[in-house]
Chain A
Amino acid sequence: MTFATKIDKQLVQALLEALDNNQTEQACSLIDELTQLRESELYHQLNQLSQNLHQTLDSLEDDAPVLMHAKHDIPDVAERLQYVITETQKASEATLSSTELVLNQLEQLRQQVQDKTVSEINALPLIEQACSELTNIMMAQSFQDLTGQVLNRVIYIMTDLEESLRSLIERSKFDFHAIPDRELTDEQRRESEARGLGPSITAKGKQDTIATQEDIDDLLGDLGI
């Protein structure tokens, strides 16, 4: 039974009458009575929640998935993701360095052809260096195998953790489906968009996005940009 259904209508009626008749002392006492009723209801609900949570945690086995995740998997998720950032950055830098060298070697060759100074002696070393840099670019892509394995492991941990948390919530007699949607106020939405949301990759994140550069150009074109 909620607080609203427990309110004694007679008590409210008496309060209104006391206020109408300027019986301040009587009104204050009635307000105290109503407040006390609310406080005791809140206390009761909190107590119930706390009991449920204790009972649920007590009923967990020592090796329950949620406890194992909390102790063994979650602490190193950040470390695993940091590894992915470091490795992709290393690969990206290596690829860019080799690409810049190949572009430079091709530019030298282009210049030699244009000036008609190209010969076996000066062209061959440039071509060999370019081949070697292209092999370096290919080898730098090996990061994908390692980071892919790490990311698959993180996805597995997060999916398993989601399942364990959901089960914990349900065991503590909380209705998972009753958890409301996350609603942002216009102000909160504007603030988060101004900070930047990153690439829109989830179905929810893709809402209200403009997919192609052509569509963005059209939209800006309409505004005279």
Chain B
Amino acid sequence: MKILIVDDFSAMRRIVKTLLSELGFSNYDEADDGATAWPLIKTGNYGFIVSDWNMPKMTGIELLQHVRADAQLKATPFLLITAEAKRSQILGAAQSGVDGYLVKPFTAAILNNEIEKIFKRLTEQKNA
């Protein structure tokens, strides 16, 4: 499965990449904000998108809304990893259709747990 990692800070992209590798995911692309990510998503056939919220040009929440509004892409699992922690922001992300919400700073175990939860739920939905 191909994964897209979107964050404007290269260090955070490397951390997420390393943690995903440890979880057995090795096929990924990177983008440094939503505006760069969107054309990649349209053609990249990604099975999972991991994105930051607060980025220049296009935010992570806007990117999520673009994905959910596209008939072909709307079912792509989307995890937000962000420092944004207002209750209203989390509820807004849920309304926009996020599959998981991870608040920074996080540990490898928490990321692992979140990814497992997302894929378990998606499998259950598929089988239902």
Contact = CB atoms under 8 A, between A and B. Distances in A.
Interface of A: 89, 92-93, 96, 99-100, 103, 190, 193-200, 208-213, 216, 219-220, 223, 225
B120 to A, nearest CB: 12
18 contacts: A92-B11, A96-B18, A193-B84, A193-B88, A193-B89, A194-B61, A196-B53, A196-B54, A196-B82, A197-B54, A197-B84, A198-B83, A208-B88, A213-B102, A219-B91, A220-B94, A220-B100, A223-B94
A129 B121 CA distance: 43
B11 A211 contact: no
A88 B66 CA distance: 33
B106 A213 contact: yes
A194 B87 CA distance: 12
Contacts of A92: 11
B14 interface: yes
Nearest to B106: A213
A195 B54 contact: yes
Contacts of A220: 90, 94, 100-101
A103 B17 CA distance: 13
A102 to B, nearest CB: 11
A208 B89 CA distance: 10
Given A89-B11, A194-B59, A208-B88, A103 B94 contact: no
Interface string B1-23: 00000000111001100100000
B83 A225 contact: no
A208 B85 CA distance: 8
Given A200-B85, A209-B86, A216 B103 contact: yes
B100 A225 contact: yes
B102 A210 contact: no
What 10 pairs across the A-B complex have the smallest Cβ distances?
A196-B54, A92-B11, A199-B83, A209-B85, A96-B14, A196-B53, A223-B94, A208-B87, A193-B89, A208-B86
A210 B85 contact: yes
A190 B96 CA distance: 14
B44 interface: no
B23 to A, nearest CB: 14
A208 to B, nearest CB: 5
Contact of A211 (B61, B85, B110): B85
Scoring B88, B103, B104 by chain A CB atoms within 10 A of each residue's CB, the highest score goes to B103
Given A89-B11, A93-B11, A225-B121, 7 more contacts: A194-B59, A196-B54, A196-B60, A200-B85, A220-B90, A220-B101, A225-B94
Interface string B94-128: 10001111111010001000000000010000000
